[in-house]
Amino acid sequence: KNEVEQSPQNLTAQEGEFITINCSYSVGISALHWLQQHPGGGIVSLFMLSSGKKKHGRLIATINIQEKHSSLHITASHPRDSAVYICAVRSAIQGAQKLVFGQGTRLTINP
Amino acid sequence: DTGVSQDPRHKITKRGQNVTFRCDPISEHNRLYWYRQTLGQGPEFLTYFQNEAQLEKSRLLSDRFSAERPKGSFSTLEIQRTEQGDSAMYLCASSYGGLDGYTFGSGTRLTVV
């Protein structure tokens, strides 16, 4: 079992729909990242969370440390939101710096 | 500052050849990371530098792989005697102090034919 599991693996929705992508992890963490990757490979960091909730525009990220679970929500989805969304965690072990990634969720928003 | 730069963007090489990739991090960032991403998968950690010191290497980094960051600024990743299984996207990222979010480069896509 991977340390970081995302669901769903693929998600297709209509423009305007509310989107939720889930991330569960099995290790103690110091931080969780949500990342966006467009075709061509470039990765953009959307959020870094260690507790609670963060909002940026139409994107909202939440984390429940006790349940080892995070969600990424997109409100009023738009075709330009189509991308792969990746959850990644940084271990709570002192000195740990590397990220462990989920396999990604491929989101397609149809007009 | 233009973010994290990686060069080249694409590389096609014949099996058995050596290749070298370069990463220029954000200038204030003291930490630099290399990851590898194969098709349909999330990135996997390869190695990490703090300044010029290579502090961690993954078991994925076989003897054919070597990474350097000689002056604590740019880094190079060399793959010797490339194999078809080395075909992947090689991603570089940098951060400062470990508390800030990562900044990723656009990656170098390697195809070994």
In whole angstroms, give the CA distance from residue B48 to residue B102: 13
Residues of A in contact with B43 (CB under 8 A): 43, 86, 88, 99, 101
Residues of B in contact with A88 (CB under 8 A): 42-43
Pick the more confident residue, A96 or A52.
Answer: A52
DSSP at B69: -
pLDDT of amino acid A2: 80
pLDDT one-digit tens code per residue, A54-88: 999 999 999 999 999 999 999 999 999 999 999 99
Mutation for testing the B interface, residue in A98, A100, A103 having most B CBs under 10 Å: A98
HEC per residue, A25-82: ECCCEEEEEEEEECCCCCEEEEEEECCEEEEECCEEEEEECCCCEEEEEECCCCHHHC
Q: Chunk chain B into consecutive blocks of 10 residues (it has 113) and report each block's average pLDDT, rounded to whole numbers.
A: 88 98 94 93 93 90 92 94 96 80 90 97
Sign of the dihedral defined by the CA atoms of residues A92, A64, A53, A13, in that order: positive
Q: Give the gap in angstroms from C-alpha B15 to the nearest C-alpha of chain A.
A: 23
Chain B: residue whose CA lies nearest to A101? B42
The tokens for A26 are 């099995």
Q: Does A4 touch chain B (CB under 8 A)?
A: yes
